[in-house]
Amino acid sequence: MNAGVETDLKAEAEAFLIAEARLLDAGRFEEWLALFAEDGFYWIPAAPGQGDPLNHLSIFYEDKSVLGMRVRRLGHPRAYSAQPAPRTAHLVGSVTAAPGSEPGIDCETRSSVMVAEYRPGTSPGERRLWAGQQLHRLRRTPEGWRIVLKRVDLVDCDAAHGILAIPI
């Protein structure tokens, strides 16, 4: 593979990650959900370097159907923990991308992410910053890239947290 192709892949991955982050920041969760492949998973481990989601609890470990329930819940008028809706700003950087290493994965892209979160009505000390490393395993489809796995390793994944009602 020549350098030009890898540069293109990185640029494509970066554009995808930015578009994904904008959907989250805009609270367009249904469109965000549509970025997942039918066999896709969204995973935020609860231990640093967590090896698997079966033997250790996670903050999130959801396939597309459970994630679909989460998105539907967020649209409910009495989803109290998400009302008023949190506002977020994602910053995605330090992106690298490589071709997929197994069938069904066309690109593995790693990045760092910081998410500032504010819930209207809370006091200044309660504004939050989520930060960590992301791994996206992507599949190329006629409709565009689809997420087979989004994994976010938060720097404070094993700390005590308040409510995290929205996906980040």
Partner 1 sequence: MPDTIAPESLSRLVEPDRVHRRLYTDPAIFELEMTRIFGRCWLFLAHESQVAAPGDFIRARLGREDVIVTRGRDGRVHGLVNRCTHRGSQICAAERGNAGGFACPYHAWTFGLDGVLNSVPHRQSLPPGFDIKDPRLSLARVPRIESYRGFVFGSLAPEGESLADFLGPMSEVIDNFVDRAPEGKLEQAGGIARQEYRGNWKLHHENANDTLHPGFVHESSVSAARADKRDYAAAAYDGHQTHTQMLSNGFGAREWQGLALTGFPSGHTFMGGFYRGGVLAPDRDDPVWREYRSKLVARHGEEKTQRVLGEDRFNNLVYPNISLNAQYQQIRIVQPLAVDRTRVLALCFRLKGAPEALFHRAVRFLTNLSSPASMILSDDIEIFERVQSGLANPEPEWLDQSRGLGSDREQSDGRKVSAGVSELPQRAQYQAWLRYMTTAA
In this chain, which stretch among 29-37, 62-70, 108-116, 139-147 interacts with partner 1, using CB under 8 A?
62-70
Residues in region 23-52 near partner 1 by CB under 8 A = 38-39, 44, 46-47
- Contact predicate 112/92, CB 8 Å: yes
Q: Does 81 bind partner 1 (CB under 8 A)?
A: yes
Task: Please tell me whether residue 160 binds partner 1 under the rule CB under 8 A.
Answer: yes
Beta carbon of residue 5, minimum distance to partner 1 (angstroms, whole number): 34
What does each C-alpha distance from 93 to 109, 113, 136, 145 come to in angstroms? 11, 6, 13, 19
Q: Is 76 left (phi over 0), alpha (psi -120 to 50) or beta?
A: beta
DSSP E strands in 12-143: the ranges are 36-45, 58-63, 87-99, 107-118, 128-141
Residue 153 structure tokens: 């390793």
Choosing from 15, 26, 129, 163, the residue that interacts with partner 1 (CB under 8 A) is 163
Contact call for residue 55 and partner 1 (CB under 8 A):
yes
- 87 contacts partner 1 (rule: CB under 8 A): no
Options 32, 61, 90, 150; binder of partner 1; rule CB under 8 A: 61
Nearer to partner 1, 70 or 107 (CB): 70
Which residue, 24, 14, 11, is CA-closest to 130?
A: 24
Select from 47, 49, 79, 43 the least CA-distant residue to 63: 43
Contact positions toward partner 1, by CB under 8 A? 38-39, 44, 46-47, 54-63, 65-66, 68-70, 72-73, 76-81, 158-165
